[in-house]
Amino acid sequence: MGRKYFGTDGVRGKVGEYPITPEFVMHLGYSAGKVLAAADWNLSQDENPGVLIGKDTRISGYLLESALQAGLIAAGVDVYLAGPVPTPAVAYLTRALRLQAGIVISASHNPFEDNGIKFFSSQGEKLPDEIEYAIEAGLETPIVTMPSARLGKAKRIDDAAGRYIEFCKSSFPYDLDLRGLKLVVDCAHGAAYHIARHVFHEMGADVVAIGVQPDGKNINDGYGATAPANLQQAVKDHRADIGIALDGDGDRLVMVDAAGRLYDGDHLLYIIARHRHAQGTLKGGVVGTLMTNLAFEHAVQRLGIPFQRAKVGDRYVMELLQQQDWQLGGENSGHIICLDRHTTGDGIISALQVLHALRANKQTLAQAVADLTLYPQILLNVPVSKGADCTAHASVRAAVAAAETALDGKGRVLLRPSGTEPLLRVMVEGEDGSKVRHWAESIAQVVREVA
């Protein structure tokens, strides 16, 4: 059964365009509230289910928060408002406050004109498919407001940021600290703007914060994990040891060393995995995605660490981790999941796991990845006709086969349709950069000819 509104990461789109309109979002809140109210929560007859709402710093967050709140209250659900907090903070606070669900208003690393709604279960995990289907089904029925005596109430959680700061700090060993480290922390003018610097400062680091002046329109604009140039320059200007960049909702991470070199999710996941493996604390193996660099796969296998690939998207990484009963996985984009520390990907907690490895081993970022050299990877987006399956075409298959023969086991070819646009993503990687570019462009050209 396919979802009509829910994608891999909730409901997302441009604000003011269906479905990200106040009318739809209010109905979404109402439908979610009715599904929650119908579940068996062991609540007393006088208690309503409770839902936490958090948001990032987009100006549209006010609009959508009010719409969600109205829909939930109409369904007889109590609403707890956390204000601007990172997505993983909502997952944590939902569990900590023993609420029935958490809702995040965010479009993550997208520009401010976009926004989205995503849900967490009472356990701080993504909603199961059957709950999403039930919420979508409820959107087909009109809103029928509960009797006044059964309406929900709203309450603001004034200490949401402080609670989450303490939770992040608890993920770092108590016998280690960050004294003597100078960090530049880039919060992308996003949800972590008033949180991240305090976490690292309270653990002893000298912190320079950038990307911490949100105005509702500048989230992810030239700052953060998807635009690290300002962080790289700031690290050099302030003669810092390390730079840390989060994205707009705080669940994605990249880092920079003192020389301004950028370390992506593959580098950082490797540092955590190798350290835990050496300490004997790595449970099972590591999950990456179809986009995880082949050199990462080879490097962890040399260490004797099992490795598996999931589809692209942290939702699929999580699903495979749960199937394997493993704890560590991530994407090269910077989503890293440490299930022994949190129920979801968390940029701040992932940064602390990297810093733990560096402090424990007395290493720099460069030293920690000295035995990992990522292969050149070329990704080309080729426009195709909507619904067309170019990968089944004989000439495309032949081009892929030729590339794989030429790479001779020292590279990889991946053709992946975009989930949101009429594009085919052509990815080629391997040890030889010139071969990689040649074959990526050759395959892309064949796809254009048949598209």
**Residue extents of the structural domains in the chain:** 11-158, 163-260, 265-349+356-368, 377-450
Q: What gap in Å lies between CA 173 and CA 340, rounded to an integer?
A: 13
Please write the tens of the pLDDT for every residue from 274-304.
999 999 999 999 999 999 999 999 999 999 9
SS3 308: strand
Give the per-residue pLDDT at 8: 79
Angle between helices 394-407 and 433-450 (to 10 degrees): 180
Give the mean pLDDT of 248-262. 98
Type of residue numbered 174: Y
Other CB atoms within 10 Å distance of the CB of residue 438: 15
pLDDT category at 11 given cuts 50, 70, 90 is: very high
Sign of CA dihedral 349, 354, 359, 364: negative
Taking all residues of the chain, what is their mean pLDDT, rounded to a whole number?
Answer: 96
* Vertex 285 angle, CA 282 and 290, to 5°: 135
The pTM of the whole model exceeds 0.85: yes
pLDDT at 1 over 60: no
- Which among 31, 60, 106, 108 is annotated as catalytic? 108
pLDDT at 440 over 90: yes
Q: For this structure, is 108 an active site residue?
A: yes
pLDDT category at 405 given cuts 50, 70, 90 is: very high
Q: Which residues contact 359 (CB under 8 A, 6 or more apart)?
A: 176, 177, 178
Confirm or reject CATH 3.40.1640.10 for domain 163-260, answering yes or no.
Answer: no
Q: What gap in Å lies between CA 369 and CA 371, rounded to an integer?
A: 5
* CATH class assigned to 265-349+356-368: alpha beta
Type of residue numbered 307: F
Q: What gap in Å lies between CA 400 and CA 415, rounded to an integer?
A: 9
Angle between helices 87-96 and 347-361 (to 10 degrees): 90
Type of residue numbered 285: G
Strand pairing category for 78-84 and 262-263: unpaired
Give the mean pLDDT of 219-232. 98
Alpha-carbon distances, residue 238 vs 195, 200, 234 (angstroms): 21, 17, 6
Backbone angles phi, psi at 7, to 5 degrees: -100, -155
Q: Could you tell me which of 8, 5, 55, 63 has the C-alpha nearest to residue 32?
A: 5
Strand locations in 121-236 (E): 154-156, 182-186, 206-210
Half-sphere exposure of 206 (CA within 13 A, CB side): 8
Tokens read off for 273 = 């995995």
Give the per-residue pLDDT at 61: 98
Q: Is 377-450 the same fold as 11-158?
A: no
More confident position, 108 or 45:
108
Give the per-residue pLDDT at 2: 61
Q: Could you tell me which of 440, 413, 403 has the C-alpha nearest to residue 294?
A: 413
Give the per-residue pLDDT at 47: 92
Q: Which residues contact 144 (CB under 8 A, 6 or more apart)?
A: none
pLDDT at 76 over 70: yes
Type of residue numbered 412: R
Q: What gap in Å lies between CA 61 and CA 372, rounded to an integer?
A: 41
pLDDT at 74 over 90: yes
According to CATH, the topology of domain 11-158 is: Alpha-D-Glucose-1,6-Bisphosphate; Chain A, domain 3 (3.40.120)
Give the per-residue pLDDT at 9: 83
Give the mean pLDDT of 328-352. 97
Give the per-residue pLDDT at 122: 96
Type of residue numbered 79: V
Give the per-residue pLDDT at 82: 98
pLDDT category at 40 given cuts 50, 70, 90 is: confident
Confirm or reject CATH 3.30.310.50 for domain 377-450, answering yes or no.
Answer: yes
Other CB atoms within 10 Å distance of the CB of residue 325: 9
Give the mean pLDDT of 20-48. 94
Of 64-78, 379-393, 424-438, give the lowest mean pLDDT range: 379-393
Tokens read off for 270 = 């490797």
